[in-house]
Structure 1
Amino acid sequence: MKNADISAPKAAVLGLQHLLAMYSGSVLVPILIGASLHFSSEQMTYLVSIDIFMCGVATALQIFSNKIFGIGLPVVLGCAVQAVAPLILIGQKFDFQTMYGAIIAAGLFVFLIGGFFAKLRKLFPPLVTGTLITVIGLSLIPVAFQNLGGGSTAAKDFGSMTNLAVGAFTVLLILAFNVWGRGFVRSIAILIGLIGGTVLAGFLGMVSFAPVAEASWFHVPTPFYFGVPHFEWSSIVTMILISLVSMVESTGVFFALGDVVERKIESEDLKKGYRAEGLAVLLGGIFNTFPYTTFSQNVGLVQLSGIKTRKPVMFSALFLILLGLLPKIGALATIIPSPVLGGAMLVMFGMVAVQGIRMLQQVDFHNDKNLLVAAVSIGLGLGVTTQPEIVQALPETLQLLFGSGILMASVSAVLLNWIFNSKTPQPELETKDGLNEKDE
């Protein structure tokens, strides 16, 4: 089946697969922030619904490329998890309006500096990009295992045989359909694993339909739902710094997807990609939801499915918008148990890491300088990810930055590569077949 020939029904099913892969991670952000800031049940209902709606809008801004914004790759955007801690701090120290004012200012900042940031493309040769993608994938594996065990280490049944069995069944189902499946069935192996794992979990009494029963039927997005935004400088600076972290992470995802779909990513592409994210963050502040960023797990999904066109993601965007307007239907995706999600995440995040390793194959590791750049950067990235308490003595703002393994790996790789290789021409990232799009 050629990617260009994929039918609308099949693209819709693939789009549903993308949606389910990112849904829980994105919904988790408003739930965590809302619970920490003591939102009412009515406010929480709004928060989750508008979050899903804006995920669809943000995704559409990226995939429908034009001369001003949108990278035009099969990317899915969701709430930036790295924004959770700083937003809770801002909300607790000030108020909701200040929190959303900072988000609006950060979105405007990202949109305005998109062109400048894109000019730094030469700082991201295969050595840097491959290292970054490898760290992104490996640093997310603990998240997959936490879900595999039951979602929270504080849960009484965390690591229970039931949770592990359901997670293992999901992984085996995905592997079976990916290895022995053919054509379209093989491309939806993740979706089959999620559905099959949820069915098994249902028989074991692990599935609750309470979220569906409690959700309303229809919801209308409302700008400035929590009031007129307030703009406070320290909150704005904090969110701008977090946005820069997201931009670095998105840079790696853009290059990884470009490698998967065999398209060379130019500075112009990056500029439009950053601008789309800036618009998404800006709209998130206006509609009183949260910052959005490119989700890396969907890179592994594109790689696994083998479907490299934007059509499935277009359906994902449409589904997300509809689910945001119809909360009761949207709540159906929340019934998937954590062990099932953990099993699927394990496969997808592993694929992201391997994608980074494959990009590093283009690097000459007979050169000890290149070896050191990758070794130190991966070590720093994974070290901070597994031991974030190491930066607890730093000021809170610096903790938010240096506590990010992805940012640490990025800064390390860029700086060390610049120090060691600034006088040595670095090869540009090649596509799968060793050809850039313009060469074909």
Structure 2
Amino acid sequence: MNKEVSHKKAFVLGLQHLLAMYSGAIAVPLLIGSALKFNSTHMTYLVSIDIFMCGLATLLQLFRNRYFGIGLPVVLGCAIQAVAPLEMIGQKFSINTMYGAIIVAGIFVFCVAGWFSKIKKLFPPVVTGTLITVIGLTLIPVAFQNIGGGNAAAKGFGDTKNLITGFLTIIIILAIEVWGKGFIKSIAVLIGLIVGTLIAGSLGMVSLAPVAQASWFHLPQLFYFGVPEFEWSSSLTMIIIALVSMVESTGVFFAIGDLLNKDITEEDLKKGYRAEGIAQIFGGLFNTFPYTTFSQNVGLLQLSGIKTKRPIFWAAGLLMTMGLLPKIGALVTIIPDSVLGGAMLVMFTMIAIQGIKMLKHVDFEDNRNMLIVAISIGLGLGVTVYPQIFQTLPETIQLFLGNGIVVASISATLLNILFHTKQRKVVIE
């Protein structure tokens, strides 16, 4: 169902997209702010303006023009892989050094976008299908962690109330998907989140305190924490993280292209990377974070069946409004982790299924292709479960190899080059 929808329906669909990515978007400022001991005033700014910048970054991708913007129904949010290195830079140097490194990395992404887009030929279906499958599978543990309550180390993790609300949310979404009709079916995740939150509220799991404590209005401020400072090792670290994000975004672009039956060209990739680079520069200037294309919303496009940009424009507008009106933004934070986890599980598994659908186009009679997929998925999942396996290696290398999605993409790409090159040589001989 790739057709335009009314503004009212687009608004509701946009709200659904916003709720799907919201916890991931605010996780980065919450984690970094707490690690760097921000006070409540600074934390409020960090979370709210970060949400505003998520909306702005999304608009940069939606408005395709001569220079940037991929023009696909994508949502941008904070790059979660940037948390650990940003905390390290902020603690070792300063907050201003952290933002200087983000700006440098954003400029780097913008400048190399044209060159990086030429890797399209390295992503045939055997590689892209594997990558999308791994993206979905590696996100599933995050969903389960949320169903359990969010913090696996907490004493109440896996509490009966969390399990009830988490799995009831899944059941509600599945019921609507099976028996729902038309527009109701397309907002199954949104209904699941709302009903799940109401059930959680009846069990005493919802607090309105965040809404009461939030301020009414504020604006983004240039250099809120001070003028950026530049340090070479910090900048290099964030450039590496930016490359990781570009690899992930490439997979998301191809997944959405497959959903829309659209061929993703080098020009598309270049404009998509440039938009992310600009968003990252803005993040550094307004003292927020690096931004990347969110993979979880791919599953939502698949579930809703509506793949136009109009709902995403609404999502971007809502994000920017919530960033300027913290009380409205705080409303979304009352959704319990267990309810979000239930919705996430449905969406993340749909991403994995999308990857498997892409792999249907691969010739598995050729054992080489079988090995590419098998080894790459195995490595990606293995690293996701035990990222500490590389803890004895230099920290810079750990930044790459500690990410299951990146490991899987590197493995699939290199094995594809190796096997196909070898195959061509055999044919020539």
CA distance in 2, matches of 1:76, 1:233: 31
The residue number in structure 2 matching 1:231 is 230
Q: What residue number does 1:169 align with?
A: 168
Structure 1 residue 42, shift from structure 2 partner: 0.7
- Aligned residue identity for 2:179: W
Map Cα deviations across residues 36-58 of structure 1 (whole Å, 9 max, x no partner): 00011111010001100000000
Output the amino acid matched with 1:153.
A
How far has the Cα of 1:369 moved from its partner? 0.6
Query: 1:359-387 CA deviation, whole Å, 9 max, x = no partner?
Result: 01100011011111111111110000001
Match of 2:247 in 1: 248
Asked if the contact 2:3/2:306 (under 8 Å) is kept, the reply is no
> Aligned partners of 1:247 and 1:306: how far apart in 2?
26
Q: Which amino acid aligns with 1:32?
A: L
Q: TM-score, structure 1 length as denominator?
A: 0.95
Residues 268-287 of structure 1: pairs in structure 2 closer than 5 A: 268-287=267-286
- What count of residue pairs does the alignment treat as equivalent? 424
Task: Determine if the alignment matches structure 1 residue 214 to structure 2 residue 199.
Answer: no
Question: Is 2:10–2:310's contact at 8 Å kept on the other side of the alignment?
Answer: yes
Provide Cα deviations, 1:142-191, integer angstroms capped at 9, x if missing partner: 00000000000122221112111111100000001111100000000000
Q: Matched residues in 1 for 2:421 and 2:298: separation?
A: 30
Question: Which residues in structure 2 correspond to 1:245-324 (within 5 Å)?
Answer: 245-324=244-323
SS in 1 for 2:96: helix
User: In 1, Cα distance between the equivalents of 2:3 and 2:411?
Assistant: 39
Please say if residues 97 and 230 of structure 2, whose CA atoms lie closer than 8 Å, have aligned partners that are also in contact.
yes
Using the TM superposition, give the Cα deviation of residue 263 of structure 1 relative to its aligned residue in structure 2, in angstroms: 1.0
AA in 1 matched with 2:377: I
Secondary structure of 1:293's counterpart equals strand
Q: Which amino acid aligns with 1:136?
A: I
How far, CA to CA, are the matches of 1:283 and 1:423 in structure 2? 45
Give the drift of 1:60: 0.3
| Offset of residue 4 of structure 1 | 3.0
- Please give the alpha-carbon distance, in whole angstroms, between the structure 2 residues aligned to 1:307 and 1:5: 8
Deviation at 1:424, TM superposition (A): 5.9
Aligned to 1:422, the other structure's residue is in SS state helix
Q: Alpha-carbon deviations, 1:253-302, whole Å to 9, x = none? A: 00000111111111100000000000011100000000001110100000
Q: Measure, in 2, the Cα distance between the counterparts of 1:240 and 1:87.
A: 12
Q: Does the CA contact (< 8 Å) of 2:4 and 2:310 recur in 1?
A: no
Q: How does 1:146-185 map to 2 (within 5 A)?
A: 146-185=145-184
Aligned to 1:49: 48
Report deviation, 1:114.
Answer: 0.5
- Residue identity opposite 1:238 in structure 2: T
Q: CA separation in 1, counterparts of 2:222 and 2:356?
A: 43
Tell me which residue corresponds to 1:428: none
In the alignment, the residues of structure 1 paired with residue 239 and residue 122 of structure 2 have an alpha-carbon distance, to the nearest angstrom, of 21
Cα deviation code 1:212-235 (max 9, x no counterpart) = 111000011001101110110000
SS class of match (1:219) = coil
Counterpart residue identity of residue 339, structure 2: V
SS of 2:134's partner is: helix
Over the matched positions of the two proteins, sequence identity in percent amounts to: 68
Q: 2:193, 2:312 → 1: CA distance?
A: 18
Q: Which amino acid aligns with 2:184?
A: V
Q: Are the counterparts in 1 of residues 150 and 337 from structure 2 also a CA contact under 8 Å?
A: yes
2:120 aligns with 121
CA contact (8 A) 2:245 2:292 kept: yes
Q: Following the alignment from structure 1 to structure 2, what is the Cα–Cα distance between the partners of residues 159 and 397?
A: 35
Q: Secondary structure at the match of 2:120?
A: helix
| 1:113-164 deviation line (CA, Å, top 9, x unaligned) | 1010001100011000000000000000000000000000122221112111
Indicate the residue corresponding to 1:436 in structure 2: none
Q: Structure 1: which 4+ aligned runs deviate by more than 2 Å?
A: 2-5, 422-425
Mapped pair 1:362 → 2:343: no
C-alpha deviations, 1:302-352, integer Å up to 9, x for none?
A: 000000100000000000000000000010001000000000000000000
* 2:427 corresponding residue in structure 1: none
Distance 1:105 1:365 in 2: 43
State how 1:81-96 maps to structure 2 within 5 Å: 81-96=80-95
Quote the Cα distance in structure 2 between the aligned partners of 1:209 and 1:30.
21
Indicate the residue corresponding to 1:429 in structure 2: none
Tell me the equivalent position of 1:338: 337
Equivalent in the alignment of 1:20: 19
* Two-structure CA RMSD over aligned residues (Å): 0.9
Q: Distance in 1 between matches of 2:398 and 2:242?
A: 15
The amino acid of 1:313's aligned partner reads I
How far, CA to CA, are the matches of 2:44 and 2:125 in structure 1? Answer: 43
* Counterparts of 2:107 and 2:183, CA distance in 1: 41
Give me the whole-angstrom Cα distance separating, in 2, the residues matched to 1:5 and 1:374.
36
Q: Is 1:413 equivalent to 2:405 in the alignment?
A: no
Long gaps (5+) in structure 2? 425-429
In the alignment, structure 1 residue 99 sits paired with structure 2 residue 108 = no
Query: One-letter code of the match for 2:30?
Result: I
Task: In structure 1, list runs of 5 or more residues that go unmatched.
Answer: 426-440
Letter in 2 for 1:305: S
Separation in 1 of the partners of 2:371 and 2:99? Answer: 42
Deviation at 1:423, TM superposition (A): 6.3
| Structure 1, 152-161 or 368-377: larger mean CA deviation | 152-161
Q: Tell me the distance in 2 between the aligned counterparts of 1:38 and 1:195.
A: 33
Letter in 2 for 1:289: T
